[in-house]
Amino acid sequence: MLMVRYLLGTVFILLSYTAIAQGDLTPVSDPTELKQGIEKMAQNTSTIQASFTQNKYLSILSNKLVSNGSLYFKKPQHVKWAYEKPYEYVIVLDGKQISISDEGKVNTFDVSSSKVFQQVNSLIVSSVRGDILQEDQFNISYFKSGASYVAKLVPKDANIKEYLSEIEVHFNKEDFSVDQLLMIEPSGDYTDITFNNKKLNQSLSDGVFSVQ
């Protein structure tokens, strides 16, 4: 259980994103068209490549923690988060294993060994490819703001709620791809990750997802 808590804590610290101060949100009264657009986008996207800037806000620190890196996704469940500055840290998922490389030291966890690992794997993959809107797992509210649609998700599962009080997914209004994700921790700490230079459906070899 200690290892499960460590992994969950590490993943959620690294995978939280979007600023809380985001302007006015207008509720979407009928989200049917929005959900259909998001579902179609997720179905039609085979690969994603993007760069990101992450700002981590902790109540105990006066300054934010800034990191930069690259994100890779390939259907069905290959995901790689590569933190490049100010330190090297990589998380790779393939549906069967979660591998974490911390400056060259690799730890691998079997997803099937724990229900919590399975939930973490599903949450990360779904967040990246945009089909996280699972009403059996979350209470969901829909909004629009500027160039984005926003889905606010409150976890139902007790294991997830221990680390996350709310998730916000920001979808681009033009193509419904994920621009930002916000994961707010119960303490009020949060992380802001902004995606840039997104490339969809371009060739991506399996070798990209190796861990060294």
In a domain, 210, yes or no: no
Region of poorest pLDDT, from 2-6, 31-35, 81-85: 2-6
Region of poorest pLDDT, from 30-34, 60-64, 105-109, 142-146: 60-64
Tell me which residue of 6, 26, 1, 9 sits closest to 189, measured CA to CA: 9
Supply the DSSP string of 191-204, one letter for each residue: EEEEEEEEEES---
Give the rounded percent of residues in the chain with a pLDDT score beyond 90: 21
Distance (Å, whole) CA 187 – CA 22 = 19
**180 Cβ partners below 8 Å, 6+ apart?**
17, 18, 148, 168, 169, 170, 192, 193, 194, 195
Q: What is the pLDDT of residue 120?
A: 67
Q: pLDDT grade, residue 5 (50/70/90)? A: very low
Q: Is the peptide bond preceding residue 76 cis, with omega within 30 degrees of 0?
A: yes
Total structural domains in the chain? 1
In a domain, 65, yes or no: yes
User: Which stretch of DSSP H or E encloses residue 81?
Assistant: strand 78-85
Q: What is the pLDDT of residue 47?
A: 92
In a domain, 209, yes or no: no
> What is the CATH number for 162?
2.50.20.10
In a domain, 28, yes or no: yes
Q: What is the pLDDT of residue 28?
A: 93
Q: pLDDT grade, residue 117 (50/70/90)? A: low
Radius of gyration of the CA atoms of the chain, in A: 16
In a domain, 15, yes or no: yes
Assigned token pair, 121 = 């794997």
pLDDT greater than 60 at residue 2:
no
pTM of structure: 0.79
In a domain, 78, yes or no: yes
Question: What is the domain extent for residue 165?
Answer: 2-204
Supply the mean pLDDT for the chain.
81
Place of tokens 């911390």: 102
In a domain, 212, yes or no: no
pLDDT greater than 80 at residue 14:
no
187-209 confidence digits (pLDDT tens): 888 877 788 899 999 999 999 99
Q: What is the pLDDT of residue 129?
A: 64
In a domain, 72, yes or no: yes
3-state SS string for 96-162: CEEEEEECCEEEEEEHHHCHHHHHHHHHHHHHHHCCCCCCCCEEEEEEEECCEEEEEEEECCHHHHC
Assigned token pair, 158 = 């007790």
